[in-house]
């Protein structure tokens, strides 16, 4: 059980890390640090960096949360710690 | 029917609806008062969270600041939505499993210390009070326009209404009232924007319209806007930075972790039935929030475009046959001279909406060159070309001052939309201001009565006295916030950003370490919170005055404004959070580790199973 608890937590942390990397890349990466470079690309009339800062990152955040909620449900059942 | 009558009708109808719901769902016991009995569906909860979240700052102020800041305004958009990812993953499910009503309770129990709980209450009160000051600024804008009075009078009236509203509600009343408010405020935000997007680009979806070509021309709206504002000496809209890239980075980060640390938002996640629901609730909340947040950039850019076009006919819009502001493709293509004498609007011929806003004192005209026309441009520009053109045209300085906080409320008026749309926006603005103020007052009242008085000073207090203490603390909070709201430390969204910085630097790290660091002890957590709060307040107060009281700022003492690597006080919360983490881990290293049962508790919080048993304890 103790061992199982540790693997569960490690699995959770690795999922969180992956999601946080994407979270960082779209907002701080594409929306801020690389925005000037991306602005030379046009997306439906938007400069791409501007689009990430004012539109794209928000859409990505929604997807990330629902992906997280689904994955966590899977992990909970795999380790048999889900709610009754 | 005239505009004022329609406005009274629409606002009156929306209020009747909220009050009816509040009475219908009137709270009974204390446990229901705070957390609505733990029985709210994730989608309902998501909508209520969204209403709670989208305050006067988001609804009234944010798009105006985006209009002013251009690309840099994205920091509000990313910051206030990206925080939900952190909230959903790092805090909400674990706090739900922990099964307490409030943030200080969690911190007090996890760090096995009344001291920790007390410090958490102090942090919470500081953040929430600052937040309400920002709300009151927004309330002032909404009420002043609604009743045609000065913005100060608007604040006084707003204080009274917010108080009555929160005292008679309680959370359960508020949850369902907020669903109604969400619907009112989101329609109020989106409907006028659809109209405007159609007028300018022919695309009904503002999210796409903002990227589209102007109707009848093959130039994008954004590139035309860039051209106009640049020619008038402002920064290019799609690239202008708030100070520096570093400041934008840190500012965004502050808002994100502040979102995840703000007590009145976290409290929402105590009210869902299961851990599973806590995870998806944040997602639903973000869906409903994103509807407004992805529309806001269009509101900002289009309002700015329309405003310039109203005062300068060379931009290429004109009043169409239906009385709305319409595109004249030939004129847009012509790129006429913005500095031509006859291009500037004659003051006497200004539209009605300008007269209405002049009454509030938030829009001002001063005829500096005495030609009777309105010249609206950046007279402090570093752009030599724009400067030379202005001088050649005989312009003697910018003549129109528009408080950015009015942009959203004035947006449908600027576009000359029908009266019912303008009335709807007034109702939405009032809903936004009231709902968040009420949610914050709940957080303050529970912190004082539940955490401070019952939890620490007088555990035997009767339920009746506890409720009374809660209501008294709400009243005190409103008076303080109203007083400071008369002389606010900034525009509504800027003041609210300060509140996020405070939450980011004090509460977020403590809660996160409480869950993710089993060995973090009470000494570390308390030292961390105090250090984070102290450095942040120090930097903020240096710029904005001690407790935001005008004239008590000491910015010279820290070497001038933004002396810390050019970081603005609104952005400083992230730095405070870093200080919090460092101090906490350093103190934790040299003090003894938390007792065995606390470490077991942290392990139990990390797994979802048993969540129902935990909540049964209350």
Which pair of structure tokens corresponds to residue B141?
């804008």
Q: What pLDDT is stored for residue B18 in this prediction?
A: 79
Q: What pLDDT is stored for residue B15 in this prediction?
A: 83
Confidence class for position B616, pLDDT limits 50, 70, 90? very low
Cα distances (Å, whole numbers) of residue B550 to B57, B133, B135, B570:
21, 14, 18, 17
Cβ–Cβ < 8 Å for B344, B374? yes
Q: What pLDDT is stored for residue B26 in this prediction?
A: 61
Cβ–Cβ below 8 Å for A83 and B290: no
Q: What pLDDT is stored for residue A53 in this prediction?
A: 96
What is the ipTM metric for this complex? 0.95
Cβ–Cβ < 8 Å for B315, B227? no
Confidence class for position B485, pLDDT limits 50, 70, 90? confident
pLDDT tens string B233-287: 999 999 999 989 999 999 999 999 998 888 777 877 776 778 888 888 889 999 9
- The average confidence (pLDDT) of chain B is 87
For A18, name the nearest residue in chain B, comparing CA atoms only.
B89
B608-611 contacts, C-beta under 8 A, 24 or more apart:
B608/A76, B608/A81, B608/A82, B608/A83, B608/B93, B608/B97, B608/B274, B608/B275, B608/B276, B609/A81, B609/A82, B609/A83, B609/A84, B610/A83, B610/B97, B611/A83, B611/B96, B611/B97, B611/B99, B611/B274, B611/B275
List chain A residues with CB under 8 Å of B77: 53-54, 57-58
Strands A42-43 vs A46-47: parallel, antiparallel or unpaired: antiparallel
Cβ–Cβ below 8 Å for A81 and B609: yes
For B516, name the nearest residue in chain A, comparing CA atoms only.
A13
Please work out, in degrees rounded to the nearest 5, the angle formed at the alpha carbon of residue B249 by the alpha carbons of B245 and B251. 115
pLDDT tens string B14-37: 888 877 876 776 654 444 544 444
From B71, B82, B606, residue closest to A9, measured CB to CB? B606
Highest mean pLDDT among A11-15, B132-136, B409-413: A11-15
- The Cα–Cα gap between B87 and B262 comes to 10
Cα distance from B387 to chain A (closest Cα, Å)? 26
In 3D space, the residue among B133, B132, B154, B134 whose CA is nearest the CA of residue B143 turns out to be: B154
Window 82-111 of B: residues touching A by CB (8 A cutoff) are: 82, 84-85, 88-90, 93
Whole-structure pTM value = 0.91
Q: Taking the domains of chain A in order of start, what are their residue ranges?
A: 2-78
Q: What pLDDT is stored for residue B37 in this prediction?
A: 47
CATH class of the domain comprising B22-291+417-616:
mainly alpha
Cβ–Cβ below 8 Å for A31 and B253: no
Q: Does B603 touch chain A (CB under 8 A)?
A: yes
Q: Does B280 touch chain A (CB under 8 A)?
A: yes
Cβ–Cβ below 8 Å for A69 and B88: yes
pLDDT tens string B144-177: 877 778 878 888 888 888 777 777 654 445 677 7
Which pair of structure tokens corresponds to residue B506?
């004090």
Q: What pLDDT is stored for residue B29 in this prediction?
A: 47
Q: What pLDDT is stored for residue A3 in this prediction?
A: 55
Cβ–Cβ below 8 Å for B274 and A83: yes
Size of interface A-B (CB pairs under 8 A): 138
- The Cα–Cα gap between B246 and B571 comes to 10
For the four alpha carbons of B149, B429, B60 and B398, in that order, the dihedral sign comes to negative
Q: What pLDDT is stored for residue B390 in this prediction?
A: 93
pLDDT tens string B176-205: 777 888 898 899 999 999 999 999 999 999
In 3D space, the residue among B361, B367, B315, B322 whose CA is nearest the CA of residue B336 turns out to be: B315
List chain B residues with CB under 8 Å of A45: 210-213, 220-222
Asked if pLDDT for residue B102 goes beyond 60, the answer is: yes
pLDDT tens string B546-562: 888 878 888 888 888 88
Asked if pLDDT for residue B38 goes beyond 60, the answer is: no
Confidence class for position B615, pLDDT limits 50, 70, 90? very low
B505: left (phi over 0), alpha (psi -120 to 50) or beta: alpha
pLDDT tens string B566-613: 999 999 999 999 999 999 999 999 999 999 999 999 999 998 887 765
Cβ–Cβ < 8 Å for B432, B138? yes
Find the helix or strand (DSSP H, E) in which A43 lies.
Answer: strand A42-43
Please work out, in degrees rounded to the nearest 5, the angle formed at the alpha carbon of residue B271 by the alpha carbons of B269 and B273. 100
Confidence class for position B133, pLDDT limits 50, 70, 90? confident
Asked if pLDDT for residue B7 goes beyond 70, the answer is: yes
Cβ–Cβ below 8 Å for A19 and B611: no
Helix, coil or strand: residue B371: coil
From B78, B280, B290, residue closest to A31, measured CB to CB? B78
Asked if pLDDT for residue B480 goes beyond 80, the answer is: yes
Helix, coil or strand: residue B438: helix
Cβ–Cβ below 8 Å for A27 and B78: yes
From A19, A50, A68, residue closest to B238, measured CB to CB? A50
For A43, name the nearest residue in chain B, comparing CA atoms only.
B211
From B249, B256, B282, residue closest to A65, measured CB to CB? B282
Q: What pLDDT is stored for residue B169 in this prediction?
A: 56
Q: What pLDDT is stored for residue B39 in this prediction?
A: 62
- The Cα–Cα gap between B41 and B39 comes to 7
Q: Taking the domains of chain B in order of start, what are their residue ranges?
A: 22-291+417-616, 301-414
- Tell me how crowded residue B74 is: count the other CB atoms within 10 A of its CB: 28
Cβ–Cβ below 8 Å for A35 and B77: no
Q: What pLDDT is stored for residue B513 in this prediction?
A: 96
- The Cα–Cα gap between B357 and A74 comes to 55
Q: What pLDDT is stored for residue B76 in this prediction?
A: 94
């Amino acid at each position: 059980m103790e061992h199982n608890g540790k693997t569960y937590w490690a699995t959770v942390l690795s999922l969180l890390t992956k999601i946080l990397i994407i979270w960082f890349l779209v907002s701080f990466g594409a929306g801020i640090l690389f925005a000037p470079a991306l602005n030379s690309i046009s997306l439906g009339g938007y400069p791409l960096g501007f689009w990430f800062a004012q539109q794209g990152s928000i859409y990505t955040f929604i997807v990330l949360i629902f992906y997280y909620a689904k994955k966590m449900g899977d992990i909970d059942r795999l380790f048999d710690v889900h709610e009754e | 029917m005239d505009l004022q009558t329609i406005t009274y009708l629409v606002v009156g109808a929306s209020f009747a609806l909220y009050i009816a719901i509040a009475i219908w769902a009137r709270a009974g016991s204390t446990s229901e008062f705070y957390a609505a009995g733990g029985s709210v569906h994730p989608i309902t909860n998501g909508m209520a969270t969204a209403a709670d979240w989208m305050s006067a700052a988001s609804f009234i102020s944010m798009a105006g600041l985006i209009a002013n800041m251009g690309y840099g305004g994205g920091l509000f958009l990313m910051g206030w939505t990206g925080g939900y990812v952190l909230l959903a993953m790092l805090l909400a499910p674990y706090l739900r499993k922990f099964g307490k009503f409030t943030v200080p309770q969690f911190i007090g129990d996890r760090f096995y210390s009344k001291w920790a709980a007390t410090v958490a209450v102090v942090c919470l009160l500081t953040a929430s009070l600052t937040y309400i000051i920002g709300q009151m600024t927004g309330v002032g804008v909404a009420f002043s326009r609604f009743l045609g009075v000065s913005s100060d009078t608007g604040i006084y009236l707003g204080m009274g209404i917010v108080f009555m509203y929160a005292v008679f509600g309680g959370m359960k009343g508020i949850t369902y009232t907020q669903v109604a408010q969400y619907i009112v405020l989101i329609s109020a935000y989106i409907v006028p924007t659809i109209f405007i997007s159609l007028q300018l680009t022919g695309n009904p979806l503002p999210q796409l319209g903002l990227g589209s070509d102007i109707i009848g021309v093959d130039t994008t709206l954004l590139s035309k806007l860039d051209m106009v504002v640049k020619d008038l000496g402002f920064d290019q809209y799609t690239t202008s930075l708030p100070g520096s890239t570093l400041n934008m980075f840190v500012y965004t980060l502050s808002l994100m972790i502040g979102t995840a640390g703000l007590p009145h938002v976290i409290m929402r996640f105590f009210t869902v039935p299961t851990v599973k629901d806590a995870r998806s609730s944040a997602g639903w909340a973000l869906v409903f929030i994103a509807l407004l947040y992805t529309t806001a950039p269009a509101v900002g850019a289009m309002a700015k475009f329309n405003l310039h076009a109203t005062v300068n006919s060379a931009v290429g819009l004109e009043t169409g046959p239906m009385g709305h502001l319409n595109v004249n493709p030939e004129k847009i293509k012509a790129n006429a001279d913005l500095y031509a004498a006859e291009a500037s609007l004659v003051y006497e011929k200004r539209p009605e909406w300008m007269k209405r806003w002049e009454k509030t004192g938030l829009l001002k005209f001063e005829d500096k060159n005495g030609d009777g026309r309105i010249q609206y441009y950046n007279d402090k520009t570093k752009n030599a070309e724009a400067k030379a053109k202005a001088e050649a045209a005989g312009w003697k300085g910018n003549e129109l001052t528009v408080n950015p906080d009015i942009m959203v409320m004035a947006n449908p008026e600027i576009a000359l939309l029908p009266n019912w749309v303008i009335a709807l926006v007034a109702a939405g603005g009032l809903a936004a201001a009231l709902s968040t103020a009420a949610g914050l007052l709940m957080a303050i009242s529970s912190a004082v009565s539940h955490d401070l008085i019952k939890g620490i000073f007088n555990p035997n207090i009767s339920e009746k006295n506890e409720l009374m203490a809660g209501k008294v603390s709400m009243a005190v909070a409103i008076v303080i916030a109203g007083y400071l709201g008369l002389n606010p430390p900034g525009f509504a969204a800027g003041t609210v950003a300060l509140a996020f910085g405070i939450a980011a630097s004090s509460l977020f790290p403590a809660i996160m370490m409480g869950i993710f660091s089993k060995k973090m002890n009470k000494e570390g957590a308390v030292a961390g919170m105090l250090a984070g709060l102290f450095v942040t307040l120090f930097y903020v107060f240096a710029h904005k005055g001690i407790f935001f009281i005008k004239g008590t700022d000491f910015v010279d003492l820290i070497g001038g404004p933004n002396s810390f690597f050019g970081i603005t006080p609104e952005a400083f919360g992230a730095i405070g959070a870093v200080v919090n983490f460092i101090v906490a881990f350093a103190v934790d290293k040299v003090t003894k580790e938390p007792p065995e049962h606390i470490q077991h508790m942290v392990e139990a919080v990390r797994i979802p199973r048993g969540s129902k048993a935990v909540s049964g304890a209350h």
